[in-house]
C-alpha cells in the first residue's frame, strides 16, 4: 500500500490537497477534522463535547481519534493505500500509528508537509471563516491558539519522520494547482523508487 500522511499547520491547504491526491492516486482519504465536525453537527452529546474543544482551538482526546483512525485503516486494508489528513498531530499519536500499522504489516510511506508563512495562514483561515461556518476559523484569538498548539505539539512530529527519511516538504504558499503539481512530482518520484 502507498500510505501518505498529509501534514501542515491549520490553513495550509491539507484538506484541499488531500482530496485531489486521493482522487489521483486512488487512495482512501480520512480527514479527522471532517469526521469530528460531522459528529458535532449531529447534535449528539459526544458532538457537544467535541464542539467545546474544537471551537476553542484545543485537541480532542487521543483515544477518540485513535479509535476513528483504527476503524478507517482496518476497513481499508487491501486498497491501494490511504491518505491521513489531520493525523498524527502529536508524538504520542505517531507512535501509536506506527505500532498499529506494524501490527498489520504496513507503514507510513511518505510524510508530505506543506510549508506556509504564518501571516498567510491567518489570512487564509479568516477568509475561509467567511463561508466555512467554522467557529474556530472566525476568531483571531482562537486561530492564534491553533497555530500555537501546532508549534508546541504538532511540529515536533516533523523530526520523527525526518529521521526515518520519509519527510518531504513542499511550498504550500503558491496556487492550489501549483501545490498539487509539486506534490505529484514528489509522490511520483517516491512511487517510482519503490518499484
Positions touching ligand AMP (CB under 6 A) are 10, 32-33, 36, 53-54, 57-60, 65, 86-87, 89, 93, 146
Euclidean distance between CA atoms 6 and 33, whole angstroms: 13
The CB-of-31 to ligand AMP minimum distance in angstroms stands at 6
Q: What share of the chain is helix, strand, coil (3-state, %, to 5)?
A: 60, 10, 30
Cβ-proximal residue to ligand AMP, closest one: 33
Q: How many CB atoms lie within 10 A of CB 40?
A: 20
Ranges of H-type helices in 104-173: 118-132, 140-149, 157-163
| Residue with Cβ nearer ligand AMP (80 or 144) | 144
Lookup: cell for 22: 486521493
Tally Cβ neighbours within 10 Å of residue 73: 20
Nearer to ligand AMP, 153 or 190 (CB): 153
CB of 135 to ligand AMP, least distance (A): 11
User: What is the closest distance, in whole angstroms, from the C-beta atom of residue 65 to ligand AMP in the complex?
Assistant: 5
**CB-wise, 86 or 172, nearer to ligand AMP?**
86
Give min distance, CB of 62 to ligand AMP, in A: 7
Q: How far is the CB of 124 from ligand AMP (least distance, A)?
A: 12
Would you call 33 helix, strand, or coil by DSSP?
A: helix
Comparison of 156 and 191: residue with beta carbon closer to ligand AMP:
156
Q: In this structure, what C-alpha cell is assigned to residue 108? A: 507510513
Considering the complex, state which of residue 16 and residue 181 has its C-beta at the smaller distance from ligand AMP. 16
Partner residues linked to 29 by β-bridges: 83
Pair 146, 57: CB distance under 8 Å: yes
Amino acid at each position: 500500500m502507498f500510505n501518505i500522511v498529509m501534514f501542515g499547520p491549520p490553513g495550509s491547504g491539507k484538506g484541499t490537497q488531500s482530496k485531489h491526491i486521493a482522487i489521483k492516486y486512488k487512495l482512501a482519504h480520512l480527514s479527522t477534522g471532517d469526521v469530528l465536525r460531522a459528529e458535532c453537527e449531529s447534535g449528539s452529546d459526544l458532538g457537544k463535547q467535541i464542539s467545546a474543544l474544537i471551537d476553542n482551538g484545543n485537541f480532542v482526546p487521543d483515544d477518540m481519534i485513535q479509535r476513528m483512525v483504527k476503524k478507517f485503516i482496518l476497513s481499508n486494508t487491501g486498497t491501494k493505500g490511504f491518505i491521513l489528513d489531520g493525523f498524527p498531530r502529536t508524538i504520542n499519536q505517531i507512535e501509536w500509528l506506527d505500532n498499529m500499522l506494524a501490527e498489520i504489516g504496513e507503514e507510513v510511506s511518505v510524510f508530505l508537509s506543506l510549508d506556509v508563512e504564518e501571516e498567510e495562514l491567518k489570512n487564509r483561515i479568516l477568509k475561509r471563516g467567511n463561508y466555512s461556518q467554522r467557529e474556530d476559523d472566525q476568531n483571531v484569538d482562537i486561530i492564534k491558539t491553533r497555530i500555537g498548539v501546532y508549534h508546541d505539539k504538532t511540529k515536533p512530529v516533523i523530526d520523527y519522520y525526518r529521521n526515518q527519511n520519509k519527510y518531504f516538504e513542499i511550498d504550500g504558499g503558491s496556487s492550489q494547482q501549483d501545490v498539487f503539481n509539486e506534490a505529484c512530482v514528489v509522490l511520483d518520484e517516491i512511487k517510482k523508487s519503490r518499484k
